[in-house]
Amino acid sequence: MTWIFPFPAALLFLIVLTGCGDADHDGHQHDSESPDATEEACLHAQDTPTLINAAASPEEALTPDIEQGHTLYEISLPESTSHSGQYTGYLRYDRTEPADVLLFTSSVIDVAVLDSTGAEQVVSTTAVDACAELLQSHRVALEAGSYTLSFGPGSEPTVSILIEAESHDHAHE
């Protein structure tokens, strides 16, 4: 019995497997300690978006809609009231660990974050000047848990969002 064929095949398999890691799946390294989350978000703002329909009320946002960081989501917002021209939507977002979270949006829109008890979290909003695809950054410190993200009211029926999490080193009392 000869072992010549299985060895090269196994070696080729290991080389291919090593090249398929997710650290560089889209041409650049993902570093959770990255000092510039805005730069990271701007890179992903050029990706093909994942389409999601937002719920019309917080009670309807029952399953996690947004779970993946480094992903561009295009959110379809329902009209607040018939023919109002104002759009509001709700998504569920789950965190498995504490983090300072940055929600980047493609338009100027109000963003609120509610915890599982309905308490509104403190969100600070700033303009994004690093790229044309993103207009605002909404920063919020979150613990592990389930959250409802509220978008609107706004005049556009869709909004693109990206979520980037930064390390969360400080203790809460």
pLDDT at 27: 45
Q: Which residues contact 96 (CB under 8 A, 6 or more apart)?
A: 144
Q: Taking 50 as the threshold, does the pLDDT of residue 137 lie above it?
A: yes
Residue 20 has pLDDT above 60, yes or no: no
State mean pLDDT over 96-110. 93
| HSE value, Cβ hemisphere, 13 Å, CA-based, for 79 | 5
Give tens-digit pLDDT for 60-70: 888 777 877 77
In 3D space, the residue among 77, 72, 80 whose CA is nearest the CA of residue 106 turns out to be 72
**Amino acid letter at 109?**
I
Tell me if 137 sits within 8 A of 38, measured CB to CB: yes
Per-residue pLDDT band at 33 (split at 50, 70, 90): very low
Rounded Cα distance between 62 and 148, Å, is 9
Fold of the domain spanning 53-173: Jelly Rolls (2.60.120)
Write down the pLDDT at residue 152. 94
Question: From its phi and psi, is residue 120 left (phi > 0), alpha (psi between -120 and 50) or beta?
Answer: beta
Indicate whether 110 pLDDT > 80.
Answer: yes
Question: Higher confidence at residue 2 or residue 90?
Answer: 90
Contact by Cβ (8 Å): 107, 152: no
Per the CB < 8 A criterion, the answer to whether 52 and 73 are in contact is yes
